[in-house]
Every structure is written in C-alpha cells, then in structure tokens.
Amino acid sequence: MDKNKIKQPSSRTCFMCGKQNEMGLQLEWYNNLETNHVEATVSVPEHFNGYPGIVHGGIIAAILDETAGRAVMLDGNFDNLFVTLKLEITYRNFTPTNTPLQAIGWLISQGNRSMKVAAELRLPDGTVTAECQAVIVRPTDEVLKTWEAERPFWRVHD
C-alpha cells in the first residue's frame, strides 16, 4: 500500500462500510495525504440498479454522502464523527453498475459544530457521474452515547 494513503476504520453493520453487512457495499476509504482527499473504489453490483446497468440514484447519494462525510477524518482523528444535516447532489452522467468507480471527498470549510464537505463519483476515465456538497454537524452527546456499544467494532480492518 502507498505510504501516502492511510486506511480509515470501518464498522460491522454500516450499509456502506460494515464488514459484517452482507447486504452492504463493504467499502474501504483511505486518506490520501498527497491530495488531502478521502478515496474509495467501488463497483456497484447490478442488484443496486435503478434501471438495468445503471446504479440507482439513492445508492449514488449514499456513496457520496459517506465519502463527503469521511473527509472530516482527513486529519487522522478517526473518532471525529459527524452526521449529515444537508446534502445536495448533482447527477451529471449515468453511473454504470459492475464498473470500478472512484469516490473522492474533501473538506471545504470547518467550524466547531459543523463543516462543509464535498464528494464526487468518477468513471475509470475520470468522467464525473455525480457530485455533492453537504453540511455535516457534530452529534449531541446524547446521540454519541447510543453509539458506544459499537465502538469496539469501529476499527481499521486488514
């Protein structure tokens, strides 16, 4: 693995990254220290289509949402978790199923309780099929407490 790429943690049940979620995509994200982006590669199976051969827009939204949100962990603080308050997506081209896609996310601006992040989904030739901007916020302490049982499973998996 490239020394300029640091793998981010995954959970066990998340639809996007959960290692034990057989119905999910089981994506793996990496912090790219050279570009200051978070990156993942995904090939979306046909059973997540909207029309034959085309990824469902809701699946694209989920990939972009997760990728953009993970940009808060570019600083290496993997316990710095946020939730999405607002997500704006632009679909530019059809996104094909069963094709290696690159998801790239980055931080636009940050404050104490909220951040603005962005992401895009690219074909192998670099064509952007969809992009988003999002506002993410720090969950309340009450919400964070409900996540404590999952904490031992939030880790970098080999």
46-99: per-residue pLDDT in tens? 999 999 999 999 999 999 999 999 999 999 998 888 999 999 999 999 999 999
Per the structure, the complete domain to which residue 40 belongs is given by 5-141
Domain annotation covers residue 152:
no
Q: Is residue 65 part of a domain?
A: yes
| pLDDT of amino acid 1 | 58
User: Between these two residues, 4 and 136, which has the higher pLDDT value?
Assistant: 136
Asked if residue 31 has pLDDT above 90, the reply is: yes
What is the domain-level CATH number for residue 12?
Answer: 3.10.129.10
Q: Is 147 among the domain residues?
A: no
pTM of the model as a whole: 0.95
Residue that wins the pLDDT comparison between 66 and 147: 66
Domain count, the chain: 1
User: Where is average pLDDT lowest: 36-40, 86-90, 112-116?
Assistant: 112-116
Strands 54-55 and 83-91: what pairing?
unpaired
For residue 103, being part of any structural domain is answered with yes
Is there a domain that residue 128 lies in? Answer: yes
Share of the chain above pLDDT 90, in %: 84
- Is 149 inside any structural domain? no
Q: Is position 151 within any domain? A: no
Is 17 part of any domain? yes
